Amino acid sequence: MFNTKDDAILYPINHSCAHLLAQAVSNIYSDVKFWVGPVVEEGFYYDMDLGEATIKEEDFPKIEKEMKRLAKDGKRIVGRKVTKKEAQDFFKDNPYKLYLIDKFDEDSDEISFYTQGDFTDLCRGGHVESLKELKYFKLLKVAGAYWLNDSKNKMLTRVYGIAFDSEEKLKAYENYLEECKARDHRKLGKELDIFMTSELVGPGLNLWLPNGAVIRRTLERYIVDKELERGYHHVYTPVLASSELYKISGHWDHYKDGMYPVMKMDKEEVVLRPMNCPHHMLLFKNSLHSYRDLPIRIGELGQDFRYEKSGAVMGLERVRGMCQNDAHIFVRKDQIKEEIKGVVELILDVYKDFNIKNYKFRLSLKGDDNEKYYNDPSMWENAENSLREILNELNVEYYEAKDEAAFYGPKLDVQIKTALGHELTLSTCQLDFLLPRKFDLYYIDENNEKVTPVVIHRAILGTFERFSAYLIEEYKGAMPLWLAPTQVMVIPVHHEYHLEYAKNIVTELRKLGFRTELNAKNEKLGYRVREANSQKIPIQLVVGEGEVSNNTITLRRFGSRNQVSYEKNELYKLIEIENKTKFIYEEDNNNN
Ligand SMILES: [Zn+2]
Ligand SMILES: [Zn+2]
């Protein structure tokens, strides 16, 4: 979205701005030792050892002011080659730069210094000519970063910033940051009581509060129903398994870093599962299958645990404990195409319900290096062609990614673009020729021979954690009626006079299955309406004198100033239709 790294104009501006930041910091703080300051996708950062001093976001205005002063002064950025000896002498008190200089040969002619005014840095180049060109920049955040990314090393201070070549671009970026903040699911998750974390439980392990639980339960019921309708069978399997299971599946050798450590008890050795596949292989193996029984579709809302670095976990988006909308489909080779088609149709069906329009399928194929991929050329060719044919037949937009397949088979995943322009992988569908072999799975074919089935791993909503984070950010916390934790808030104009009528409406709506609450607090009507708005409740029903005597209800929607009166049963019908059709209300701008 704002890619400064691959932009020919923005790269030198951001790179030079990193030097400018370092120069300003060295003017304000004494004895700063700088490490490196690269350009990243969104701006730049500089890592520095401030000794005893610290930089907080409150210090940004002061640093930015100094950067502006230096930029205005407009010194040229001048480069020159230096010898290794010269570089070592210059940076003799800076162990970080010395570490870099040490990497060069004794007689290297590739070491260069860049100087702007009285500030010199070790650098390969790629700058603007003069600091004058740096006008539109902004410091973004400060974080700690271990030197060389190793927690045994000293924690350095990393200051992030970004720079543009015009005021409009900087403004656009600032607006984008505002929008990010407004949509941030961690902020909204707190404000709307959706989830919480606690140090006593641990990073990346979220606790779903009642409001979040409603959203999750609604999603769970929704997707399970969709799958049952398509002939899936849902199961429950435990989150623990003997480490032996993962030795058979191969995860022990290839996925151990992503798993929680082993628990040892007496002679047993168990682990928390990182995925559900091995358990499901055992379910298939539990009974004898004829070729006529296939495909067999085993679904589970499977709870998994993966070890993520504590610094990498983020809200509901990157977690250590997650529940997957998972399934494994066991098919004959001749059923691959038909079955994948069913999965793609399910994906499209679900996307329609969530109004997901900005997506692309990515078809990941085998590369030329045969060593890298499971050795069965005809299986690969057949599978890859089938996937391609399905995408063409269904007329969906897709692109091919060669050499991106898994070792055990080609895959199909869906990249969606979020409201903030970020890309994320939502649904996946992978063919697997290998896992069924590892577990000696087979079915009996028409000639009474044992044949290994092919497994399709697929996830539609991905994890409920990440999908919920996505929905919260897409809808800015204002869930459509069918997903809203509280769907209807009934507000009597007077907390006593109109209470009985309001209570009747609550009872009637609850009977119809709507999550309905009453706000009859002894507060002003306007205050109670604002309360319903801050909770982003989609349907707000106000009843007063007129409503009681005419048996009507006045409807307000979240985010709208309009009020419309309905006959009671007419309104109930309207809400029922909206709920059933997963209607997403959008304010008609002409009515504002
Ligand atoms: Zn430079
Ligand atoms: Zn799987």
Beta strand pairing status for 296-305 and 233-234?
Answer: parallel
Tokens representing 494 are 């007077």
Residue that has been written with the tokens 């004895």 in this structure: 31
- The CA distance from 382 to 365, in Å, is 12
185 is catalytic: no
Mean pLDDT of the chain, nearest integer: 93
pLDDT value at position 559? 84
The dihedral through the CA atoms of 480, 485, 488, 494 has a sign that is negative
- Cα(171) to ligand 1 centroid in Å equals 26
- Cα(328) to ligand 2 centroid in Å equals 6
- Cα(487) to ligand 1 centroid in Å equals 55
pLDDT-based confidence at residue 1 (cuts at 50, 70, 90)? low
The residue from 123, 277, 323, 429 that is catalytic is: 277
- Cα(140) to ligand 2 centroid in Å equals 40
pLDDT value at position 589? 44
pLDDT value at position 370? 77
- Cα(348) to ligand 2 centroid in Å equals 21
457 is catalytic: yes
- Start-to-end C-alpha separation, the chain: 31
Is the confidence at residue 93, as pLDDT, over 70? yes
- The CA distance from 224 to 217, in Å, is 10
Question: How many other CB atoms are found less than 10 A from the CB of residue 545?
Answer: 11
- Using DSSP's 3-state secondary structure scheme, residue 585 falls into coil
495 is catalytic: no
277 is catalytic: yes
Tens digit of each residue's pLDDT (9 = 90 or more) over 271-289: 999 999 999 999 999 999 9
Continuous segment of H or E residues that includes residue 188: helix 185-191
- Cα(384) to ligand 2 centroid in Å equals 19
Residue spans of beta strands (DSSP E) within 195-288: 195-196, 207-208, 233-234, 240-242, 263-265, 268-272
Identify the nearest ligand to the CA of 299 by its number. Answer: 2
- Cα(43) to ligand 1 centroid in Å equals 14
Tokens representing 542 are 């106000």
- Cα(574) to ligand 1 centroid in Å equals 63
Mean pLDDT of 523-544: 94
Tell which residue, 324, 11, 317, 350, has the closest CA to residue 189. 317
Residue that has been written with the tokens 């600032």 in this structure: 174
- Cα(277) to ligand 2 centroid in Å equals 4
Tens digit of each residue's pLDDT (9 = 90 or more) over 349-394: 999 999 999 999 999 999 888 778 888 888 888 889 989 998 999 8
The 3-class SS string of 83-117 reads CHHHHHHHCCCCHHHHHHHHCCCCCCCCCEEEEEC
pLDDT value at position 588? 54
Tens digit of each residue's pLDDT (9 = 90 or more) over 406-421: 888 899 999 999 888 8
- Identify residues whose C-beta is under 5 A from ligand 1, the ion: 123
Mean pLDDT of 135-148: 95
Identify the nearest ligand to the CA of 456 by its number. Answer: 2
pLDDT value at position 561? 85
- The CA distance from 405 to 409, in Å, is 6
326 is catalytic: yes
Burial class of residue 361 (count of CB atoms within 10 Å of its CB; 0-12, 13-18, 19+): buried
pLDDT-based confidence at residue 219 (cuts at 50, 70, 90)? very high
The residue from 328, 337, 366, 498 that is catalytic is: 328
Tens digit of each residue's pLDDT (9 = 90 or more) over 14-73: 999 999 999 999 999 999 999 999 999 999 999 999 999 999 999 999 999 999 999 999
- The CA distance from 274 to 303, in Å, is 9
Continuous segment of H or E residues that includes residue 557: strand 552-557
CB 45 within 8 A of CB 38: yes
pLDDT value at position 591? 42
The residue from 324, 335, 430, 540 that is catalytic is: 324
Is the confidence at residue 592, as pLDDT, over 70? no
pLDDT value at position 383? 85
- The CA distance from 84 to 436, in Å, is 58
Tell which residue, 275, 287, 288, 267, has the closest CA to residue 245. 275
Share of the chain above pLDDT 70, in %: 99
Maximum Cα interatomic distance, the chain, rounded to a whole number of Å = 96
The residue from 19, 306, 320, 498 that is catalytic is: 306
Identify the nearest ligand to the CA of 37 by its number. Answer: 1
- Cα(326) to ligand 2 centroid in Å equals 7
Identify the nearest ligand to the CA of 123 by its number. Answer: 1
The residue from 411, 458, 528, 568 that is catalytic is: 411
- Cα(529) to ligand 2 centroid in Å equals 47
Identify the nearest ligand to the CA of 78 by its number. Answer: 1
For the chain, list the domains and their CATH numbers. 10-183 (3.30.980.10), 195-237+276-355+430-474 (3.30.930.10), 481-591 (3.40.50.800)
- The CA distance from 569 to 579, in Å, is 15
pLDDT-based confidence at residue 586 (cuts at 50, 70, 90)? confident
Tens digit of each residue's pLDDT (9 = 90 or more) over 237-271: 999 999 999 999 988 888 888 899 999 998 899 99
Tokens representing 495 are 């907390």
437 is catalytic: no
- Using DSSP's 3-state secondary structure scheme, residue 494 falls into coil
Is the confidence at residue 437, as pLDDT, over 80? yes
The residue from 121, 326, 413, 432 that is catalytic is: 326
Lowest mean pLDDT among 2-6, 15-19, 221-225, 538-542: 2-6
Is the confidence at residue 299, as pLDDT, over 90? yes
